[in-house]
A = this chain, B = another copy of it.
Amino acid sequence: MREQFCIDAMNQERPVYTVSDGSGLTAETVAHTLLTQFPGVEFRHVSLPFVNTHDKLEQAVNDICRAGQESGVQPLVFTTFVQDDFSERLQHISAEVFNLFEPFINRIERALDQHSSHKSGQAHGIANVGKYNRRINAINYALHCDDGLHTRDYDQATVILLGVSRSGKTPTSLYLAMHFGFYAANYPLTEDDFDRRMLPSDVVANKERVFGLTIDPVRLQQIRSERRPNSRYASLSQCQEDVRLARELFDRNNIPFCDSTGYSVEELGSQIKHQMALQSELI
């Protein structure tokens, strides 16, 4: 019976709870990052945000304990509570509980010689209206200047992404706007640009803010084939030619660039910010 229990337990996914009094984003980010260090384990994530009353806390405790009983393994629980009584309550349940702030906050208090505010929901809220507006305006700008639209407004850009069709420009622009508050435009390089062997005047006039994206032609072929299967546009030869000509344009104009192949939008965004030495507008 005991052995049966253990085998069952091993087949179960490990329940993982993130419990927060705010949006839960910090807890989710850290839990996700820590658990990617255990690629062999299957996890079942449950997010419990906005646990900001004692009633909701008891409900969360019930959910966690039930998941532990049903799976036969102790749930992992990640919290970012800054209220001591909330944090304390979770210490007495049958689960592995990690308060993600607790090991650091006292050390930071000592280093700064300041008490922490113990106010919850500060991290992902609206820190101030100016930064909030900056971000919304940046998103609107990215949409306004997506895919070569409104190049006359490039003088407002923080960064102008250049690349062939489907090299990842639009998602990266939107990410740069949302995450850093950058005014990110993007311009698709087409046969017209390659034939002229030069960039449009609005791009040239803002060249110090231009960044190129390149991509592996085989990956590009896959992406384009999803959009227009069996087209000339999606053929490997066309993809190879487009990527080669784009690289030539980057080299000829001394445009910094990176290869988007195999990178997430977060990685590309961080890479562009880093290579262009930009500072976030939102912190």
Contacts and interface: CB of A to CB of B under 8 A. Distances in A.
Interface of A: 14, 22-26, 28-30, 32-41, 45, 47, 49-50, 74, 76, 80, 82, 96, 98, 100-101, 103-105, 107-108, 111-112, 114, 116-119, 121-127, 132, 135-136, 139-140, 143, 146, 168, 170-171, 174-175, 178, 262-267, 269-271, 273-274, 279-280, 283
B25 A26 contact: no
Given A132-B264, A143-B170, 19 more contacts: A26-B30, A29-B123, A30-B30, A33-B122, A33-B123, A37-B82, A37-B105, A37-B117, A37-B118, A38-B108, A45-B280, A47-B274, A50-B271, A96-B111, A121-B267, A124-B264, A126-B264, A136-B171, A140-B170
A137 to B, nearest CB: 9
A32 B170 contact: no
B76 A25 contact: no
Identical copies in the complex: 2
Nearest to A109: B38
A270 B50 contact: yes
A174 B33 CA distance: 23
A14 B112 CA distance: 9
A101 B36 CA distance: 12
Given A26-B33, A49-B274, A98-B107, A263 B112 contact: no
A22 B178 contact: no
A126 B265 CA distance: 9
30 contacts: A23-B264, A23-B267, A29-B30, A29-B123, A32-B123, A32-B283, A34-B105, A34-B108, A35-B108, A36-B127, A37-B108, A37-B116, A37-B118, A37-B119, A38-B116, A38-B117, A39-B117, A41-B114, A47-B273, A49-B270, A50-B270, A50-B271, A76-B111, A96-B111, A103-B103, A125-B263, A135-B265, A139-B171, A140-B170, A143-B146
